């Protein structure tokens, strides 16, 4: 298992508030993919990529016109042809791309995942998971979501519970704007089980995001702690 990480440097053409930035990036990524003849957004199911937000973050929470910022996008290796050079020479009314750097990451032992961008878990069309629903339901939904992603991209379900423990790191829900409404989301920390199947699911979550809204809002983008592999048989 492998994923491709693309680091993109942009120069803004207008001031952009932090609350607007995720949706703005999603729109530009989708536009760039369409110009690159990608059919990802015309396909059903998960899109297979996730991105973080612009950094460094300004203390005013307003990204400044004329300044340079970075963001990262990840996708699994089998989908990389959709992203190959997709943002090189890209320009819009929001920003112009200055450079792109790409690297390939292989599966390795993951001890814990931390969400840099908030995680969205939808219970139905009108309700998102909040602390009142309980940690066990959050754990079940995240396990089910990543197992469905694994089945779509690798052709089979794993059926493992990859979460040893999970905790919420924010004090109150984080509002994320999307179109004319807000999602309630949370930043989370997960300790990952050490067995091979759990490690595969954790690596996929790192590759394309935890929970929902990965491609259209950059939600569930994670970083990791890891050590040298101790369990044999992890797929390469």
Give the tens place of pLDDT for each residue, 157-173. Answer: 888 899 999 999 999 99
Classify residue 234: in a domain, yes or no: no
Classify residue 220: in a domain, yes or no: yes
Q: Report pLDDT digits (tens) over 43-76.
A: 788 999 999 999 999 999 999 999 999 999 999 9
Classify residue 235: in a domain, yes or no: no
Rounded mean pLDDT of the chain? 90
29 vs 180, residue with greater confidence = 29
Classify residue 102: in a domain, yes or no: yes
pLDDT of residue 43: 79
Q: Report pLDDT digits (tens) over 71-116.
A: 999 999 999 888 888 888 899 999 999 999 999 999 999 999 999 9
144 vs 88, residue with greater confidence = 144
- Asked if residue 114 and residue 99 are part of one domain, the reply reads no
83 vs 2, residue with greater confidence = 2
- Asked if residue 93 and residue 162 are part of one domain, the reply reads no
Q: Determine what percent of the chain is predicted with pLDDT higher than 90.
A: 72
Instruction: Specify the number of domains making up the chain.
Output: 2
Does residue 230 register a pLDDT over 80?
no
Classify residue 232: in a domain, yes or no: no
Handedness of CA 30, 80, 206, 226 (dihedral sign): negative
Query: Coil, strand or helix: which one is 169?
Result: coil
Classify residue 231: in a domain, yes or no: no
CB 87: neighbour CB atoms within 10 A? Answer: 21
Rounded to an integer, what distance in angstroms lies between the CA atom of residue 98 and that of residue 89?
A: 8
pLDDT of residue 226: 57
- Asked if residue 68 and residue 32 are part of one domain, the reply reads yes
User: Which CATH number covers residue 198?
Assistant: 3.30.70.1900
Rounded to an integer, what distance in angstroms lies between the CA atom of residue 6 and that of residue 102?
A: 4
Instruction: Tell me the residue range of the domain where 212 lies.
Output: 110-226
User: Which CATH number covers residue 84?
Assistant: 3.30.70.1890
Rounded to an integer, what distance in angstroms lies between the CA atom of residue 224 and that of residue 190?
A: 9
Classify residue 233: in a domain, yes or no: no
- Asked if residue 218 and residue 136 are part of one domain, the reply reads yes
């Amino acid at each position: 298992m492998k994923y491709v990480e693309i680091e993109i440097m942009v120069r803004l053409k207008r001031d952009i508030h932090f609350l607007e930035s995720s949706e703005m990036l999603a729109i530009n990524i989708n536009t760039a993919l369409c110009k690159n003849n990608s059919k990802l957004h015309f396909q059903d199911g998960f899109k297979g990529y996730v991105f973080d937000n612009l950094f460094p973050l300004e203390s005013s929470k307003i990204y400044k016109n004329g300044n340079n910022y970075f963001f990262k996008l990840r996708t699994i290796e089998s989908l990389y042809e959709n992203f190959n050079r997709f943002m090189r020479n890209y320009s819009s009314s929001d920003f112009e791309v200055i450079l792109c750097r790409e690297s390939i990451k292989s599966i390795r032992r993951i001890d814990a995942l931390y969400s840099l961008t908030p995680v969205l878990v939808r219970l139905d069309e009108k309700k998102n998971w909040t602390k009142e629903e309980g940690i066990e339901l959050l754990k079940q939904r995240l396990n089910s979501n990543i197992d469905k992603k694994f089945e779509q991209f690798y052709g089979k379900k794993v059926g493992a519970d990859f979460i040893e423990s999970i905790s919420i790191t924010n004090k109150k829900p984080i509002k994320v704007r999307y179109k004319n409404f807000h999602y309630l989301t949370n930043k989370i920390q997960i300790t990952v089980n050490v067995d091979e199947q759990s490690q595969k699911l954790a690596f996929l979550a790192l590759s394309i995001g935890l929970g929902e809204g990965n491609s259209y809002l950059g939600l569930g983008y994670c970083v990791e702690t890891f050590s040298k592999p101790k369990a044999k048989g992890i797929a390469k």
